[in-house]
Amino acid sequence: MTRSKGIIIGIAFIVVVIVLLGWWGKTAADGAAQSYTDQFAAWQKRDVPKLVALSSLKLNKTLFPGDISNQQQISDQKTQCDSISADGAKIETSYKVPSLSPTVFSFLSHRYGEAQKVAEARAGTVNAYRQAAANVYKQIAADCTFSNIVNRAVYTNQYFEAQKKMKGLIVPYGAIWKDGQRCGAQQGCLAPGNANRKLYVKYYSAIHMHAFSASVAQLDKCDHYHVSFAAACPAYAAVFKAYTKNTQPWLDALSKGSSTKIQAAEQKMKKSNSKAFKTYLAQMKKALPSIASKINTSTDNSDTISMMLDNHGLRQLSQSADSIKNLN
């Protein structure tokens, strides 16, 4: 064999090897693209319905109970808060969309190149939705946890005990006292006598004045809890402080004043509290523009506001879910 023939054969061998490597590389890249397509189809069937369902969470009175009538409600709320928090953490680590396995021969396969573009676009859409969903669930959990902290501070055993004892001082509508007077108030009347009035003031303070101060103590640091209505916390705290200031003179008059002074103090308290509440509503609407149109005289507690804001977040998530439904 001459030297020139040897060179030709060597070159031919190298060409054959390159062709075979190219064929093998293209086949491998095509196979990777097909494997990704199959994995995505399985993921889409299994996880997309679960992702979409995240936006259908229904907030309830266990999460945001408003008024509390017993300690069990507070315990049940804590359980729900923890469950939502766990769901939020799970979203960040679950439902991950499949990725396309890298290969050094990707440039040999047009199919791989197209699959790579699609995979990157899908991952971007899914990851954005997953993060949005996780953020919504974390926010709900934060609001629920703050509500639970406030409820634990307000609704103590002493609170419920005072509430029970105060009810014992109220006679029902239509009842006739020993001196022949008849209760004409639909909500009932305070039994006459200085001793009863002093007890009423004691129990009222243990319930309402305690609730005002306990709520303010938490609202003054609500930024620490990352609540959704943080911008409105100063308005909440201010109205409770106003209620405390406006109510105390009435309690003082009730404890030791004449009927005339009690009535005058009560009228002044109602007028001042009404003014404070109107200021509160105006400040709330300014602080929370996304739900301003829904804020009214019935939205006077943080649980109601939390539900409104968190439902707003769920509605936005539901709109984003269309991007997941329409993945192709």
- Based on the fold, state whether residues 116 and 219 are members of the same structural domain: no
Boundary of a domain, candidates 109, 139, 155 = 155
How far apart are alpha carbons 48 and 315 in whole angstroms? 18
Q: Which residue has the higher pLDDT, 72 or 179?
A: 72
Report pLDDT for 39.
86
Q: Is the CA virtual torsion 41, 49, 76, 240 positive or negative?
A: positive
Residues 97 and 138 in one domain: yes
In a shared domain, residues 178 and 228? yes
Long-range contacts of 158-162 (CB under 8 A, 24+ apart): 158/206, 158/210, 159/206, 159/207, 159/210, 159/211, 160/70, 160/71, 162/202, 162/203, 162/206, 162/207
**In the predicted model, is pLDDT for residue 119 greater than 60?**
yes
For the whole model, what pTM was predicted? 0.84
For position 34, what pLDDT does the model report?
A: 80
- Give yes or no: residues 243 and 194 share one domain: yes
**Mean of pLDDT over the chain:** 85
Contact 159, 203 (CB under 8 A): no
- The rounded distance, in Å, linking the Cα atoms of 288 and 305 is 9
pLDDT of residue 110: 67
Position 33 in a domain: yes
Is the pLDDT confidence value at 14 over 60? no
Structural domain count of the chain:
2
Does residue 299 lie within any of the structural domains? Answer: no
Shared-domain flag, residues 170 and 47: no
What's the confidence (pLDDT) of residue 109?
63
- Mean pLDDT, residues 214-243: 92
Please, which pLDDT band fits residue 16 given cuts at 50, 70 and 90? very low
pLDDT higher than threshold 60 for residue 7: no
Whole-angstrom distance, CA of residue 91 vs CA of residue 27: 36
For the chain, counts of helices (H) and of strands (E): 9, 2
What are 182's strand-pairing partners? 176
Tell me the residue range of the domain where 277 lies.
156-287
Are residues 178 and 144 part of one domain? no
What was the pLDDT predicted at 115? 74
Residues 106 and 216 in one domain: no
Residue 15 has pLDDT above 60, yes or no: no
* 315 found inside a domain: no
- Is the pLDDT at 181 greater than 90? The verdict is no
pLDDT at position 309, please?
92
More confident residue, 163 or 21: 163
